A and B are shown apart, each in its own frame.
Chain A
């Protein structure tokens, strides 16, 4: 690992090249560059998640931590390492102080792996408008994390307002096991669904997205009814031929109850953030089912038809503060 204090972007690029040479990794096997935008308090969580995901996807990880933008003198500190606590790939941690934080792309752009897709992940706080953050503008895929915002439901709606193809949110990734179980239940259905209800926390973005996905696919209104639990507790489906299925999350297992048939239990493992990040990185094109589900949640249509490319909008927080 190389640590650089009060350095420049050029020195970081050189340090990375030197690490690659001494590590023997001169042949490139990188599939993507992951840019993580986070705050200092979350470094532990992100480290664990990135290590898991990097074991599945060969990637270069660039972590950007922005510190006190109003510091008088801009400064850059960096850590460059190959292998180690961020998994088997290459990683660069960039700490930016002062006005440099507003021009983070000037440091990250030369560090991107040549001709490999770029994914930007906001871990700590999702920007209200992604185009305000240059780190989101050059990314092919953008991953947000509304569950960590103070009002996740409002943030999810804002994601629809600000949506561009290539955006996804981890509250969507988290429901993949639910969606897989429901799709499997529909595989053996002999008639269309008459009504579907999601039980859980009505303001939980995952519950909303699951209901949104079901209604976008089935063409019927799917409500989220309040039930115990912070997230999704159960889903019940009534088919037009009178059959019913109710699936309940019993902590690590999914109980499937069908009248006239023995209950079945499926493993429903608690997935870590790293597992979910790895799922996100598996496909780097736009996720249309997400766009449809988000559209159903927010009441907006044709989200998937919006232009995929954003243009950077310059916002100076110093000026914004003056206006207030």
Chain B
């Protein structure tokens, strides 16, 4: 049976934590009652850097969408913090504009009217003690006036360089303290989670010391996507795929995240980061972990994270890095009928920049299940189209009873999980060409979310913010996962340091060296 369930119970872990002193079980909640949505406990969402791009395009609209779907608790406060000389009303009008422009669900003035009463603003800079004292006092007063019970989630939508300042302030004002607040205090951190292993460890220990490790939610918005969650359903709810999901049957795995855009205004950040740190370290390694992990013993946050961590720790780098770790940088070219600039000609990028805008690498996983199966990961900007997919390529049949010419067009059987766009699953296999001749060629069997579930699936941020408020950490990477990922990336960065990236024309599928990397293994990249 397939049905949409927007309050998807598929990945939920229980009904969320209970307040101290609350009834142990709510008599009105029954696991068999699947109509009732999961609604978080009363709480405040405190957003640092609330005037920023991410906040306006994703966060505020997601909060409106949650309110519109009736998934916000009745007692809820959105508290913005930023360096503006603003009143509650100024902030409310910015939030309204942002929500109206970017919301996924239809606009309902009633819903906003209700939400607008719960929007507060505190002005101040991050190094201003008085501003944080005011913030702490505001949170305390809201406990009574808005019934939020000391529960608060802090969303750090700020540059990582500001983390230490803000976290120290929270420690000083004891805002992060679960016991002092009498409720839960959680923190949401956006990537990048450091820029290498030492900085990640430093950041993690800082965040984990101010908050407890269980209260830290690291957002990787890819994990909020419907298809990524479906990957687990596909693998562990079906009998069909798991028996062949191993080195005996799988030839190789290709994980691609391609973007057609350039660096659009993020030059300062991107030039210091590069594709490997920006995408490979988090999104691609998380997708790899979900593809390769063993079955979790139960569907809980801890069990899933344990299995992901095992995979991340078992990743091996190729010995021959020169041939199997390729990075590239786009040159000028034509993309989608428009002329685009070279990376080095982009605004604010130094003309001699060696930062990569493309990275491709062959990884191995040293486990019994995956030994010998190459995992090819690639990501890049200014590639022909925006697409993210996981392709599992199966081995060819050991013996074909057909003559060689009959099966010339038969490739590897493939199972492709399309993460975005056109979320869905494709199975590619050989089939006879109709006619009197015996000819076998590849055909594709397609499952398209858009067709089967035409309702637009919730935006990843909606899902993730809801999970933070519910305290469900299933879709959030843990500190050890971040550190294990850096252990993969650091040697690559070390190897690449001082090297010139290979150049590719904007609008091409990456540099030649990346194609040669697969050709050397007798394979070729799948055109996504």
A contacts, CB < 8 Å to B: 27, 29, 31-32, 54-58, 88, 117, 173, 176-177, 179-193, 214, 217-219, 252-253, 256, 258, 261-262, 264-267, 269, 279, 281-284, 287-289
Contact = CB atoms under 8 A, between A and B. Distances in A.
Given A187-B22, A190-B21, A182 B70 contact: no
A256 B5 CA distance: 27
A192 B2 CA distance: 37
B398 interface: no
Contact of A179 (B1, B28, B68): B28
A113 to B, nearest CB: 12
A281 B36 contact: no
A301 to B, nearest CB: 17
B27 A187 contact: no
A27 B448 CA distance: 10
B19 to A, nearest CB: 6
Contacts of B27: 186, 192-193, 217-219
Interface in B17-58: 18-19, 21-23, 26-30, 32-37, 39, 41-42
A87 to B, nearest CB: 8
B397 interface: no
B451 interface: yes
Contacts of A189: 22-23, 26
Interface of B: 1-5, 15, 18-19, 21-23, 26-30, 32-37, 39, 41-42, 67-68, 70, 73-75, 108, 110-111, 114, 117, 145-147, 149, 445-448, 451-455
A290 to B, nearest CB: 9
Contact of B28 (A58, A186, A256): A186
Secondary structure of the B contact surface, majority rule: loop
Nearest to B23: A189
A54 B451 CA distance: 11
Given A57-B3, A284-B1, A289 B32 contact: yes
A264 B75 contact: yes
A180 B147 contact: no
A117 B1 contact: yes
Which has the most chain A C-beta neighbours within 10 Å: B3, B19, B68, B452?
B3
Secondary structure of the A contact surface, majority rule: mixed
A266 B4 contact: no
Contact of B33 (A56, A88, A289): A289
Given A55-B455, A187-B41, A189-B22, A284 B28 contact: no
A271 to B, nearest CB: 11
B26 A179 contact: no
Contact of A180 (B37, B114, B452): B37
Given A179-B35, A183-B28, A265-B114, A282 B22 contact: no
Contact of B39 (A187, A252, A265): A187
B352 to A, nearest CB: 52
Nearest to A261: B147
Given A58-B453, A188-B22, A217-B27, 11 more contacts: A31-B452, A55-B455, A180-B36, A183-B26, A185-B74, A187-B41, A217-B30, A267-B110, A283-B35, A288-B32, A289-B33
A29 B74 contact: no
A47 B27 CA distance: 39
Nearest to A191: B23
Which has the most chain A C-beta neighbours within 10 Å: B27, B68, B108?
B27
Given A183-B28, A184-B73, A253-B110, A283 B36 contact: no
B1 A177 contact: no
Contact of A31 (B3, B32, B68, B111): B3
A55 B4 CA distance: 11
B70 A188 contact: no
Which has the most chain A C-beta neighbours within 10 Å: B35, B39, B111, B147?
B35
B4 A57 contact: yes
Contacts of A258: 147
Contact of A186 (B26, B117, B447): B26
Contacts of B5: 282-283
Contacts of B23: 186, 189-192
Which has the most chain B C-beta neighbours within 10 Å: A180, A182, A287?
A180
Contact of B3 (A262, A269, A282): A282
B143 to A, nearest CB: 11
B310 to A, nearest CB: 34
B500 to A, nearest CB: 47
Nearest to B448: A29
Contact of B1 (A31, A180, A187, A253): A31
Nearest to A193: B27
B75 A269 contact: no
A267 B111 contact: yes
A55 B27 CA distance: 34
22 contacts: A54-B454, A58-B451, A117-B1, A179-B33, A179-B36, A183-B39, A184-B39, A184-B74, A188-B19, A188-B41, A189-B23, A190-B19, A217-B27, A218-B28, A252-B110, A266-B114, A267-B110, A281-B3, A282-B5, A283-B35, A288-B30, A289-B33
A265 B74 CA distance: 7
Contacts of B146: 262
A117 B36 CA distance: 23
A288 B32 CA distance: 7
Contacts of B145: 262
A32 B3 CA distance: 9
A267 B107 CA distance: 13
A143 to B, nearest CB: 14
B347 to A, nearest CB: 42
A262 B74 CA distance: 11
A182 B28 contact: yes
A23 B395 CA distance: 35
Contact of B114 (A58, A185, A267): A267
